[in-house]
Structure 1
Amino acid sequence: MQGQAWTDKQLNTALGSWAELRHDTILYAKQSVVAECGGGPEEEKPHPQGYVEPEVMVYWRLGLLARQLRDGLQERGLLQDESLQQACSELISLLEFLQRVALKELSNQALTQEEYDTIEYYGAKLADLNLYTKRGAEGDEITSMTDKDMAVVADVHTGVMGDAYMALEEAVGHANEVYVVYPLGGKLLLGRGAVFSYYEFTQPVAERLTDEKWQEQLDAKPGPQPPEWTSSFLSSKSGTGEEVQFQSLPSFTGGGC
């Protein structure tokens, strides 16, 4: 976590999150204008023991923000829905859990089996919290297939390039897989998880992309290329999880999340 590649990975995550926020607030933001788990040999199928990325301050700040949001809404009488109250409380509890586990990892304290179980099903919990915002009053989902895809695009700036007016597009693609070596029980494990993908490019103003068009471009061959600086942590090789497991260093014990 001390190298340039990891710093670039964190920047990529921040920019992916920013692109998503710009997409969600595009009607309200003023645009600027110039004039998961795997690994291990096939003969062994250990119960996966995951790892939380030890970004303690990130979890603390997110938890503080979530508590401020919940308390502010309650003080103004805007949090009457019990299910919404429960969702806020579950999010806060999840962030407190991540902070607590990250602190234990950094101090080399062993996690409990209950904590490992929570890490294993973390993705399902996060998906449930995310889907809550996409359900109607009767519990049915109100999103289209396009909305269910995480890939989104937003134009954030317009200006003249040569003789044409161009829009600067910020986009999130499909999730990338990340492989990280982490310590557990005196061994080094190879863990697999998911991280943001991020894209930035220009497009003629008259041809601004919709989410549907962007998702079509991602599925095309060859697809859009990420920024050049992401090459410090993105592999140019294509492959499956099984191939990565086969090519991993033999001194590592497989597993992880």
Structure 2
Amino acid sequence: RMTRQGLTDLDALSAQAAERLTSLENILSRLIEIANKELTNQPLSEDDYKYIRGFAKTLEGAVIGVEEKGLKTTLVADVHTHILEGQVVEEAVGYVDLIIVACPSLHRTPYGADGSIFLAAGPVLSYYEFKHPMSDRLTDEAWQEMLDSPNRPERPKWYVPLMGNTPEDSE
């Protein structure tokens, strides 16, 4: 809401973009409502499960009209410059990975009985952090090329135990 309001106040938001942000606000409000039920051990309703199952389609509707370039997750940013070394620290998002998490069921659900364990799967953004020559600061386009090349940097050491190896890491 603050983003939409701030951009509206600056007169920097088209009607279509305002509509998309309002749609995203509604989606996030509904997801927060569902998450709060789960966090307080309240059973989810059939409508909640229906919303979760249709979430991908709902989210697609919130980005109608966005150019393909604006939908890419592969972004890079300089976060630190070390002038003496002539390098920058880059933080980047690669392709979307699949995460599978074992979750305890605290109450009976369509997916299991009270106390059972079920698997939840979904997308998660991949993460990279690496040094790069200051004289060749990366653009998003250059990062996307690097990501598809043999010069793709390794994931941070702390990342692999947390997320495991991904198909992208095994290439």
TM-score (norm 2): 0.75
Q: Secondary structure of the residue that 1:233 maps to in structure 2?
A: helix
Give unmatched runs, 5+ long, in structure 1.
1-65, 135-140, 240-257
CA deviation map 1:46-99 (0-9, x unaligned): xxxxxxxxxxxxxxxxxxxx2x3444566x494885544433332222122111
Amino acid at match of 1:129: A
Tell me which of 65, 80, 100 is aligned to 1:179: 100
Change in 2 beyond 3 A, CA 1:85/1:107: same
Which amino acid is the alignment partner of residue 19 of structure 2? Q
Runs of 4+ in 1 over 6 A off after TM superposition: none
Q: 1:238 to 1:104 in 2, by over 3 A?
A: same
Letter aligned with residue 181 of structure 1: A
- Deviation, structure 1 residue 220: 2.7
1:79–1:85 Cα contact (<8 Å) kept: no
Distance 1:92 1:237, change over 3 A: closer
Determine the structure 2 residue equivalent to 1:32.
Answer: none
Query: RCO greater where, 1 or 2, for CA within 8 Å and sep 6 or more?
Result: 1
> Which residue of structure 1 lines up, in the alignment, with residue 62 of structure 2?
129
* Residue pairs, 1:233-244, within 5 angstroms: 233-236=162-165, 238=167
Q: Deviations over 1:187-241 (max 9, x none)?
A: 21111111121111111122222222322222234742111111331213649xx
What is the aligned length? 160
| Map 1:1-257 → 2, pairs under 5 A | 66=1, 68-71=2-5, 76=9, 78=11, 82-132=15-65, 134=66, 141=67, 143-144=68-69, 147-162=70-85, 165-184=86-105, 185=108, 186=114, 187-221=116-150, 223-236=152-165, 238=167
Change in Cα spacing, 1:148 to 1:225, as seen in structure 2 (3 Å) is same
Partner of 2:111: none
Residues 161 and 128 of structure 1, relative CA distance in 2, 3 Å threshold: farther
TM normalised by structure 1 equals 0.53
Q: Hey, which of these two has a bigger chunk of strand by percent?
A: 2
Q: 1:182 is aligned with what amino acid?
A: C
Q: Deviations over 1:109-142 (max 9, x none)?
A: 221222112112222333332454x2xxxxxx4x
What is the identity, as a one-letter code, of the residue corresponding to 1:231?
A: V
Q: Give 1:105 deviation, angstroms.
A: 0.9
